[in-house]
Amino acid sequence: MDVLFGRVAEASRQPGLYLAGGVPDSFEGRFESLTLHVLLVLRRLRELPSPASELAQELVDACFAYLELGFRNGGVSDIAVPKRMKKIGQMFYGRVQAYEAALAQPGVDALADALRRNACTPEGAPRRLAAYVREAQAALASCELTALLERDPLFPAFPHEEARHDA
């Protein structure tokens, strides 16, 4: 599971997401990008037969362990970490609900609106980010469990050179 989470985290840190995708290069922005990428893998795992559901829970656990380690390495006190983790959990599951609803709609409009509210701000960037999410969703849809666990890179590259020209 550590290898899968590592590939998800690596994909969430693609420079294009921050340069042309409009995701702020901050703790909050990195959280938003990580949440989005974890959600896409969770959605695919839900569609696959057992043991995919167990792996989905392990992925969520790895994600929260990573976030908690980030707080601790950032100097958050042991007393404050549980409060921060509770807030992060609420934010994570709130984003999951918003993105799930948006992904259930055809096209990129609803998804771009959800991304504008949560993950990015610059004009035009939410549509580019939504197009990337749809591309990633389509790429993951063809992965069986073994491919999902072994495929590297797991996500397509964010088209940052292209996006800069249409900004």
Query: Is the confidence at residue 163, as pLDDT, over 50?
Result: no
Note the pLDDT tens digit of each residue in 101-142: 999 999 999 999 999 999 887 677 999 999 999 999 999 999
Sign for the CA dihedral angle at 162, 156, 118, 64 comes to: negative
Of the pLDDT bands very low, low, confident and very high (cuts 50, 70, 90), residue 167 is very low
Percent of the chain with pLDDT over 70: 93
**What pTM was computed for the model?**
0.91
pLDDT for position 160: 66
Domain positions in the chain: 2-155
Q: What is the pLDDT of residue 1?
A: 73
Q: For residues 157 and 159, what is the distance between their CA atoms, to the nearest angstrom?
A: 6
Classify residue 124 as left (phi > 0), alpha (psi -120 to 50) or beta: left
